[in-house]
Chains A and B, each alone.
Chain A
Amino acid sequence: MTHDLVHDLAHGLPDGLPDDLPPSTAQAVAHSEGQQHPIKLYLVVWGWLFILSTCSYLVDYFGIHGHLRWSLILLFMILKAGLIVAVFMHMAWERLALMYAILLPPGLVLVFVGIMMFESDYTHLTRILFFGAEN
């Protein structure tokens, strides 16, 4: 989703690369002089990061709770992270070989998250069972 947004942003700009270039050529042009993008692209992304941060702050300010709070927080977090990595860190213009080498391994952390959620739920249960019995 974020990638599509970035794609639209990059192509909707007046002095961006022409749309009719094949992707590989467009990449080569972008790299021939080191990442060259119009300043406006960065300002637009900056604006979006401000909007998204404000939204996530407002979630807390208005005291939204429960599943809606958690899903909104995660949504804004992922959108912000995607914009930073794709545009500010120029990952959107790198070859897939680098993209996958860097972005896939952190995805495996989610497996670790799953394991630890299972484990900590179990710890919580044993604490309630054994500490609770003493009271």
Chain B
Amino acid sequence: MADAVLADTAASPGRPSGWRGIAADWSSDQRAFKNVSWGKAMMWIFLLSDTFIFSCFLLSYMTVRISTTVPWPNPSEVFALTIGGTTIPLILIAIMTFILISSSGTMAMAVNFGYRHDRVKSAVLMLVTAAFGATFVGMQGFEWTKLIMEGVRPWGNPWGAEQFGSSFFMITGFHGTHVTIGVIFLIIVSRKVLRGDFDREARGFFTSRKGRYENVEIMGLYWHFVDLVWVFIFALFYLW
């Protein structure tokens, strides 16, 4: 019943666009987001709040890095790996970046095949995405282990400013947690797709709303956000 009412208020082709459209969509007692469902709008708003959390982490990192009088450790050297006798700067982080970007690519295609009701392709692409994500977390575990063995702690490290360790563990730890949660939900959603829950409009275990292939897109929004955050961490923490 509620689903039907919401569907009726979706945008009709005659709605104005541009600034006039913003005023028309937001004014009076009506749904502001015309052709965006409840679930998708809520995911966007959650991601907005998550943006502020990561912004605060990166801001606090910026603040301690500017205000310290001790030299900041050089990330290019700290995260270098020696492979076959040659030391390559930042190579592990670069590989992690490519893995996460690839996972975003497979996720985008999983959403596309979902809307085409191609269950197998959509589910397989989501599982590939989850595998990329798990690989990423694994490499992060390796990186953490390596740094801890070298003596990096939240309260100090062998190379310079003490705040390096606390910033590093907090920012990458929070991001890694997001990736891990994403992997778990990717497996849950891909199972639902494979089982045909979204073709049968089976009701979800938590919200009891009818399942639709839009759920795959909402899952995708979260996953792309995780990749998006990494873009900022890679640029501001590892490359700066």
Which residues does A use to contact B, with CB under 8 Å? 23-25, 27-28, 31, 33-37, 39, 42-43, 45-46, 49-50, 53, 56-57, 59-61, 63, 69-70, 73-74, 76-77, 80-81, 84-85, 87-90, 94-98, 100-102, 105-106, 109, 112-113, 116-117, 119-121, 123-124, 127-128, 131-132
- Overall SS of chain B's interface: helix
Given contacts A42-B105, A50-B98, A117-B66, contact A84 B22 (CB under 8 A): no
A-B contact number at CB 8 A: 180
- CB-CB < 8 A to A84: which residues of B? 104, 224, 227-228, 231
A88 touches B224 (CB 8 A): yes
- CB-CB < 8 A to B41: which residues of A? 98
A100 touches B22 (CB 8 A): yes
Complex: A55 Cα to B105 Cα, angstroms: 19
Complex: A117 Cα to B67 Cα, angstroms: 9
Interface residue stretch chosen among B28-36, B144-152, B168-176, B202-210: B28-36
- Interface range on chain B (Cβ under 8 Å from partner): 35 or more
A80 to chain B, nearest CB (A): 5
B48 touches A102 (CB 8 A): yes
Given contacts A49-B101, A76-B235, A119-B63, contact A34 B34 (CB under 8 A): no
A94 touches B240 (CB 8 A): no
